[in-house]
Amino acid sequence: MSAPLIVLVGPMGVGKSTVGELLAERLGTTYRDTDADVVAAAGKPIAEIFYDEGEERFRELESRAVHDAVAEHTGVLSLGGGAVLDEATRDLLAGHAVVYLSMDVDEAVKRVGLNTARPLLAVNPRRQWRELMEARRHLYTDVARAVVATDERTPHEVAQAVLEALELPDAPSSGRENATMTEQGPTRIQIAGSAGTDPYEVVIGRQLLGELPAFIGDRVKRVAILHPEALAETGEAVRQDLADQGYEAIAIQLPNAEEAKTVEVAAYCWKALGQTGFTRTDVIVGVGGGATTDVAGFVAATWLRGVRWIAVPTTVLAMVDAAVGGKTGINTAEGKNLVGAFHPPAGVLCDLAALDSLPVNDYVSGVAEIIKAGFIADPAILDLVEADPQGARTPAGPHTSELIERAIRVKAEVVSSDLKESGLREILNYGHTLAHAIEKNERYKWRHGAAVSVGMVFAAELGRLAGRLDDATADRHRAVLESVGLPLTYRGDQWPKLLENMKVDKKSRGDLLRFIVLDGLGKPTVLEGPDPAVLLAAYGEVSA
């Protein structure tokens, strides 16, 4: 009868997949993950199964997947963290070469990070972890032939320990001996300081919650976590985690999305800071989408004429645009972001795990900003999107990390040399002049990325009509944006209102309208005072 060569069990985030793949490679066999089997069978991520159908339904699917895999697979097999809760599964594992991979709570929180796709750790990672382990540790131990601790060990060291514990023949390792279990290839992008501001770092990767205390620092006594209502549990989880580490941490809940960007909300935050004795040595942390990081930065810029703040963006839009560069602000009745300050963060943590449960329309909205970066500076972005448009629409796509990193690098290079938009930084507003006008006209009910998509098509047509942009690049805008499901048109009868809205755009000088257009792919420039007839004709190309 066939049986798996090795079965790995243990809590989420312990590294079963990484170690399992290494073991399979070293033993010359195949690797299988029952969590992946469940996702394939259900047709949706595990988090969605929990939220849509409940944990009981997930456990049914998991039990079936484990039984099938144990019966069919002859290589290395890893089981989900809660698979051992099922008595039938525990009975099934009797007699198999089961190894329990263990780790302590501090290591666990570092690895799991802000992954909202892990539904059982959604509120307070440290407390929930302890509770889960109290319920499961003895079950892991009971089914295991061997226990291998992963703390402070590299994946290769853990794989070697598994082989030794089971007395299986060793094989040459494939390198990467210096990578730790918590290292999943995080990227660190440096933003240069300018205009009297300090340099800071943007960290991109997964399981990054453990990086936050280092950004906050030892001298800080109080930390305020600003978060939207939709992320109340995540905000509380961050607050509790920081409180457990000795900070006086408070959570300040904001309205969702653009409703947070008002002077009334800012005043509410100032009041909360005043009532808790917030000083210049304390820190604000903004956890959420672009609107949240805009408000968090603005509150930080204005409280005591400036305190440090850290951005923890949880959407694509916030990661590639709002949280990087130091632009902070709120809206007024007259327009978007007209009141604000340039106040760079002390650091930015882009935990890609936070994107796993993001609704598809919110995710795609952020992709518009990534595509913008492709047109103004990095055409390789466009090549990646065109190679797999459906993959670009989801965090599970093969190029997610690279697309986000490339877009951030574009912005990092620009803001490092022009913090206050005195010249080069204006290119980041490609497509935004019309986009902001549309958002104001829709009372900020349109997603920012959707408006930027229409704005870029308009800018491309304006560049073409002005004799600046070639037909192929102009047409490429429509093809790329449409391929990922972004809109290309807006209501034709709204042009007079949009024109008035654009006159108060931040790039305007007096009565002179100014637009960012392209002289070619990756060649942005400023078009000043275009003929009204050309503007109208360009808008005609995006009119529904």
The answer to whether residue 429 is catalytic is: yes
Catalytic residue among 372, 432, 476, 506: 432
Residue 137 annotated among the catalytic residues of the structure: no
- For residues 42 and 49, the answer to whether their CB atoms sit within 8 Å is yes
What single-letter DSSP state applies at residue 39?
H
Would you call 411 a catalytic residue per the annotation?
yes
Catalytic hit among 62, 211, 369, 426: 369
Q: For residue 309, what are the contacts with CB-CB under 8 A and spacing of at least 6?
A: 283, 284, 285, 286, 296, 297, 299, 300, 343, 345, 346
To the query of whether residue 361 is one of the catalytic residues in this protein, the response is: no
- What is the rounded radius of gyration, in angstroms, for the C-alpha atoms of the chain? 25
The 3 state secondary structure assigned to 75-114 is CEEECCCCHHHCHHHHHHHCCCCEEEEECCHHHHHHHHCC
Between β-strands 187-191 and 200-205, what pairing exists: parallel, antiparallel or unpaired?
antiparallel
Of 389, 373, 348, whose CA–CA distance to 486 is shortest? 389
Q: Tell me, yes or no, if 327 is annotated catalytic.
A: yes
What gap in Å lies between CA 181 and CA 193, rounded to an integer?
32
Distance separating alpha carbons of residues 534 and 544, to the nearest angstrom: 18
Distances (CA, A) of 304 to 227, 253, 265: 21, 21, 17
- What are residue 494's phi and psi, to 5 degrees? -95, 5
Q: Kindly name the residue from 26, 261, 327, 477 that is annotated as catalytic.
A: 327
For residue 339, the 8-state DSSP code is E
Contacts of 425 (CB under 8 A, 6+ apart): 325, 414, 415, 418, 419
Query: In 3-state terms, what secondary structure has residue 68?
Result: helix
Full 3-state SS string of 367-378: HHHHHHHHHHCC
Strand, helix or coil for residue 175 = coil
Q: Which of 425, 464, 477, 478 is flagged as catalytic?
A: 425
- Of the residues 331, 429, 441, 501, only one is catalytic, namely 429
Catalytic residue from among 236, 405, 421, 426: 421
Q: Are 144 and 100 in contact, with CB atoms under 8 Å apart?
A: yes
Catalytic residue among 261, 406, 436, 447: 436
| CA–CA distances in Å: residue 219 to residues 214, 247, 417, 515, 530 | 11, 10, 30, 45, 53
Q: Indicate if 25 belongs to the active site.
A: no
Residue of 136, 153, 393, 448 marked active site: 448
Pick the catalytic residue from 409, 411, 440, 476. Answer: 411
- Catalytic choice (305, 443, 445, 509): 305
- Among all residues, which ones are annotated catalytic? 305, 327, 369, 411, 421, 425, 429, 432, 436, 448
